[in-house]
Amino acid sequence: MSQAMPSAQTLPQRADGKERRVLVEVTDLKKHFPIRSGILIQREVAAVKAVDGVSFQIFQGETLGLVGESGCGKSTTGRTILQLYRPTSGSVKFEGQEISTLKGEELRKMRRKMQMVFQDPYASLNPRMSVGRIVAEPLVVHNIGNRKERDERVAELLELVGLNPYFVNRYPHEFSGGQRQRIGLARSLALNPSFIVADEPISALDVSIQAQVVNLLQRLQNELGLTYLFIAHDLSMVRHLCDRVAVMYLGKIVEIAESEELYTNPLHPYTQALLSAVPVPDPVVEERRQRIILKGDVPSPINPPKGCNFNTRCPVAVDVCYDQDPELVEVLPDHWVACHRVI
């Protein structure tokens, strides 16, 4: 049973009454990677169900956090939305236009509005290219401006992300991790996108540098009107940065809510377990609170369990959890949960 989110037209307002416009709408999105066997003739014998029927919306100007354990499908979701991976099935709409079926020049034009900041600043920059060439590459690919105009745009972008424009002739190995991530961010902004997928952009950085990058992301969002899908492991940083948070487990969304609502009133057992592991900077509260320890390992995405994906580790699972896959249902205003014990 696939998750059921309402159409964009049925969610015109936030819980506080402010109007909001849907920028990205994902409906029953699936991305399965085939596993093939055979030497001369290869047959598909199974599939890795990395993303298995997720539905959510991202509103213009907001930051939606996507959290979950490693291997749950967060990065694959982000890349499939941007069509870096073509979806197995499902719908991805950007500004109301279906993009999962676009090809060639139409898709290339649409990608000017959607960009990505990758997780590893050491691997996402070409070591043989200077900073100027790296940041200018999107302009070259899309044939924007002449040489002088591109150089001026590169200098402007480097200043925008807090780097000296005189660094254009240096190479990635001459920079720290935080500076490299700023270079990657400058490259993603070259085409004036409205939507950016930030795939764990701070996880590879020192803690002292993480706050600088997050503050930069917030400043750019305010100045340029950007919309983010922020993929992360650090739940405390997600609470600080994101307007809404979606929790993912084994290829499915299990809970979506406004950030403060999710952190103060988590309803899904998996969300409760995740948040119980976040340290609290108060020794009295930390001593009193109860950790929820999940038993067992995450099942294989090749052969997920029947019914709810979380039933093998859930401390409150009942018979229906082993038989029926719960739908994502709005149980409180703007608070969606996929759990038989909550619905």
Q: φ and ψ at 265, to 5 degrees?
A: -140, 60
**Are 35 and 44 a contacting pair, CB within 8 Å?**
yes
Q: Which residue blocks in 161-304 are alpha helix, DSSP H?
A: 177-189, 207-224, 235-241, 259-264, 269-276, 283-288
- Sketch the domain layout of the chain as residue ranges: 1-36+68-101+231-343
Taking alpha carbons only, the member of 224, 182, 226, 220 closest to residue 202 is 182
* pLDDT tens digit at each of 343 positions of the chain: 445 554 443 444 454 555 789 999 999 999 999 999 888 888 888 999 999 999 999 999 999 999 998 889 999 999 999 999 999 999 999 999 999 999 988 998 898 999 999 888 888 899 999 999 999 999 999 999 899 999 999 999 999 999 999 999 999 999 988 899 999 999 999 999 999 999 998 887 888 888 888 889 999 999 999 999 999 987 888 988 999 999 999 999 999 999 999 999 999 999 999 988 777 766 666 666 777 888 888 899 999 999 999 999 999 999 999 999 999 999 999 999 999 998 7
pLDDT at 207: 81
Q: Are 28 and 63 in contact (CB under 8 A)?
A: no
**Closest of 52, 45, 9, 46 to residue 28, by C-alpha:** 52
CA nearest neighbour of 256 among 22, 13, 58:
58
Instruction: Give Cβ neighbours of residue 172 (< 8 Å, ≥ 6 apart).
Output: 122, 125, 126, 127, 129, 131, 134, 180, 183
Paired tokens of 149: 């105009």
pLDDT attached to residue 220: 93
DSSP at 175: S
Report whether 247 contacts 77 (CB < 8 A).
no
What is the per-residue pLDDT for 237? Answer: 84
Going by C-alpha positions, the residue among 158, 160, 116 that lies closest to residue 133 is 158
CA distance 200 to 114: 17
- Tokens 């073509």 locate to 86
Distance from C-alpha of 232 to C-alpha of 62, rounded to nearest angstrom: 16
Query: So what's the pLDDT on residue 5?
Result: 54
Cβ contact 56:93 at 8 Å: no
Output phi, psi for 232, to 5 deg.
-160, 160
Cβ-based neighbour number of residue 268 at 10 Å: 25
pTM above 0.85, yes or no: yes
